Amino acid sequence: MTAPPALSPYPRPGPDPYSHQPSLRQQSSQQPHPRQSPPHQSYSRRAAGPVRRPFRPARRSFLALTGAAALAAGCGRAVGGDRRTDTVRYQGWGGQVTPPELAADLGYLDGVKLEWVGNTISGPQDIQTAATGEIDVGGAFNGAVVKLAASGAPVTAVVSYYGTDALSYNSFFAAADGDLRTARDLRGEKVGVNTLGGHAEAVLDLYLRKHGLSSDEADDVQALVVPPVSTEQALRQGRIGVASLSGVLRDKARERGGLRELFNDYRLLGAFSAGTYVIADRFLERNPDTAASFVTGVARAVEWSRATPRAEVVDRMTAIVARRKRNEQAEPLRYWRSYGVAGPGGRIAEKELAFWADWLADRGEIERDAVRVAGIYTNEFNGYRRARSSRTGRAER
């Protein structure tokens, strides 16, 4: 894997940008901890969130999110919105172990229970479901998170849970013996992605724009939803010209040969946290203790996966999948490499949302002043801190 380009919007690894920030426990002498004083901060978008303005219709349907999600959440009538609970409802991903699931198995959730309600293959669908209150937490690509917030949904991003690095990245493949070699060759072609409005479609658009395609020319490249397990087959059968693949699907496709990687998001953008978990503001206000335990547990699980030998992580994930009996295959887990999260403990850096907010505004997907990025995320509930004990060398809570 070659190094990312120097013009990446994300800086190369350097000093920990969060090392100067005290943990929640360190802050307790300065301000109330969310466990102790739920009303200490309102998460209402009216108080601290983005400026809500109608946005003009987009040129394309990219990142189209249902108005029903924002309406239901905004009216304060989301399913389960009034409940106080120590249980967090969520959707999983088949054949994968998400950071919350790993955190639960490691005993990092501090008494909070997870309630699995089914699986998803779409980040935008997941966060819409969280906005309506049908689940308590949902995760998606940060562009989709920004778009949902700009539409008026009162949700807050609380922790990064996936990203792109040298081990975990999204590749775009074409047939090795075909004519598709450059961005301009993709005009008139279909590109298979797992969902519209997600990470793959956004990276595709950035690739086209970086290589000089105009908006009209980029519109000639059609992102087509293909189930991830069928994307490689669709490419080999000629039903699509390019396949977006990641993780086990990417690695197995590469093993079988006959494909050429056109580009990947790591070479295009460098290492960055790409997606965050969001929680409805109403849930944060009513259940700050549950939120703090959940977010901190996820943060610790991300760091455990980073510090633990890969074989041990894979063995633990495999055991989790075997125990939960969801009629899924554990074999793909042997290809797991990394969650790809950039910041320590999944702490959110404002640039990780601002980059996509600017990009959406440039495309006409949102008004430039439709969202105040500082108002749609918080690290307040994240109790993980980078500092290490001089005696144990272990990261502390």
For residue range 27-72, what is the model confidence (pLDDT) as tens digits? 333 333 333 333 334 444 433 444 433 333 333 444 444 344 444 4
Q: What is the pLDDT of residue 132?
A: 92
Q: What is the pLDDT of residue 48?
A: 40
Q: What is the pLDDT of residue 70?
A: 46
Q: What is the pLDDT of residue 120?
A: 87
Q: Is the model's pLDDT at 272 over the cut of 50?
A: yes
For residue range 106-162, what is the model confidence (pLDDT) as tens digits? 999 999 999 999 998 888 899 999 999 999 999 999 999 999 999 999 999 999 999
For residue range 220-251, what is the model confidence (pLDDT) as tens digits? 999 999 998 899 999 999 999 999 999 889 99
Q: Is the model's pLDDT at 23 over the cut of 80?
A: no
Buried b (16+ CB within 10 A) or exposed e, 277-306: bbbbbbbbbbbbbbbbbbbbbbbbbbbbbe
- Among 22-26, 114-118, 260-264, 329-333, where is mean pLDDT lowest? 22-26
Q: What is the pLDDT of residue 369?
A: 86
Q: What is the pLDDT of residue 73?
A: 46
- Among 51-55, 112-116, 352-356, 376-380, where is mean pLDDT lowest? 51-55
Q: Is the model's pLDDT at 256 over the cut of 90?
A: yes
Q: What is the pLDDT of residue 291?
A: 97
Q: What is the pLDDT of residue 76?
A: 43
Closest alpha carbon to 199 in 222, 227, 223: 223
Confidence of residue 20 (pLDDT cuts 50, 70, 90): very low
Q: What is the pLDDT of residue 293?
A: 97
Sign of CA dihedral 343, 347, 351, 357: positive
Closest alpha carbon to 294 in 73, 122, 134, 139: 139
Q: What is the pLDDT of residue 248?
A: 85
Q: Is the model's pLDDT at 25 over the cut of 50?
A: no
Confidence of residue 184 (pLDDT cuts 50, 70, 90): very high
